[in-house]
Structure 1
Amino acid sequence: MTQSSFWQTHTETGGFAELCNGLYQREINLIAKGDYASVQAVQARLQSLPYYITRTAHAMTEVNSQGLSPLQLDSQNASWSAKQSTKLPLSGQETEQERDKVFAWYLQEGICVGLAVPVLLFDHIIIDCIDRIDVDRQRLRTNVGGWFSLVATNSVTQGRDVNKQLLKPNKKIMTSACAGHCWQRNSKQLPIIPSLRELLLSCSINWKNFKKPLPI
């Protein structure tokens, strides 16, 4: 099957149309509630919407049909679903020694700009992406989280923002991020549906090798 025919197959399915409809409803609602500085800003957002919604719906459908993700596709709600753990899945990334291993993972060769990575924000994990790597100062920046030091001395107790933490990707953490799982004092809460950008990034996750993103 050629790429063009594969695209055509997806766009003709009811699931694809349902995904697009769900994404449109969500995004239009967000725009309606948004605080924009000008009419032009709203117009620009609306003009770009068809492209990003179509691209995201196609990517989610393709990833699901090819079995490239362990998550379940919920076309009606335009989201991924998975069983939620009883508490934040931070095991192995909490102590100072464990955090050193997280930093070491990000200092390996092959970590690149554009890589989808998990970031803990308060009580849930988001899918972010690396947009800059500063080798000399041993730090990296993600699009939403901002700068993160990869120096081992930046430990749990030494000036780190406990509400914002760069995590090492693993199956449990990435599943939680993709499905929008959240907790309050380690008590499960209703999921937060990831943003359109996060959903698109979720389709680039290579679940067999988190350092090598899939093309989207």
Structure 2
Amino acid sequence: MSQSNLWQLHTETGDFAELCNALYQREIALLAKGDFANVQSIQARLESLSYYITRTAHAMVKVIGQGHSPLMLDTQNASWSAKQSKRMPSSGQETEQECANTISWYSQKDIYVGLVVPVLLTDHIIIDCIDRIDLDKQRIRTNVSGWFSLAVDELVNQQQGANKRLLKPNKKIMTSACTGHCWQGNNKQLPIIPTLRELLLSCSINWKNFKKPLAI
């Protein structure tokens, strides 16, 4: 089957149409509440909206159809779903040894710009991607969350009271990030639906090897 036929097959499914509808409703609501500096800013967002919604819906249908994702697809809400653990799955990455393991994972040669990575915020984990690597200064920058140090002593200090933290990906952490699971203390809260950008990034995750993303 050719790529064009595959695309046509996905766009003709009910799931694809339902995903597009849910994504449009959510994005239009966000735009309506947005604070834009000028008319040109919102025009640019609207101009690209169709492309990104179509691309995201296609990617979500494709990864499920080809069995690439262990998550369940909620077409009505245009989101991923999975059973939520009682506690945030980042537990255990706060110790000095685990910080050293995280640094080792991010310091290898097979880390590159564009790789999807998890970032811990106060009460949930988001999906981000690397946009700059500066090994001379032992740091990595992600597109949304900014710079993170790869020095052990600085990373340990970041773990204590920081409002954001770079995590080493594993299945539980990436599941939490993709599904928007949220906690307050040790209590589960209602999920936060990931952004359109995060949903698109989630479709490139290779759950068998987080350093080798899928070509979706």
Under a length normalisation based on structure 1, what TM-score does the superposition of the two structures give?
0.97
Secondary structure, in 3 states, of the residue corresponding to 1:103?
Answer: helix
Which residue number corresponds to residue 199 of structure 1? 199
Which residue number corresponds to residue 76 of structure 2? 76
1:85 and 2:85 aligned? yes
C-alpha separation in 2, matches of 1:123 and 1:156: 19
Which amino acid letter does the alignment assign opposite residue 131 of structure 1?
Answer: D
1:16-95 paired onto structure 2 within 5 Å: 16-95=16-95
Work out the number of aligned pairs and report it: 216
Which residue number corresponds to residue 124 of structure 2? 124
Secondary structure, in 3 states, of the residue corresponding to 2:127?
Answer: strand
Secondary structure, in 3 states, of the residue corresponding to 1:156?
Answer: helix
Which amino acid letter does the alignment assign opposite residue 114 of structure 2?
Answer: G
Secondary structure, in 3 states, of the residue corresponding to 1:119?
Answer: strand
Which residue number corresponds to residue 104 of structure 2? 104
Under a length normalisation based on structure 2, what TM-score does the superposition of the two structures give?
0.97
- Give the % identical residues: 74
Q: Quickly say closer, same or farther: Cα 1:160–1:136, change in 2 above 3 A.
A: farther
Which amino acid letter does the alignment assign opposite residue 78 of structure 2?
Answer: A
| C-alpha contact 2:116 2:129 (8 A) present in aligned 1 | yes
1:143-162 paired onto structure 2 within 5 Å: 143-157=143-157, 162=162
| C-alpha contact 1:120 1:167 (8 A) present in aligned 2 | yes
C-alpha separation in 2, matches of 1:59 and 1:190: 25
| C-alpha contact 1:154 1:160 (8 A) present in aligned 2 | no
**RMSD (Å), alpha carbons:** 1.2
| C-alpha contact 1:206 1:214 (8 A) present in aligned 2 | yes
Secondary structure, in 3 states, of the residue corresponding to 1:212?
Answer: coil
Gaps of 5+ in 1: none
Secondary structure, in 3 states, of the residue corresponding to 2:140?
Answer: strand
Gaps of 5+ in 2: none
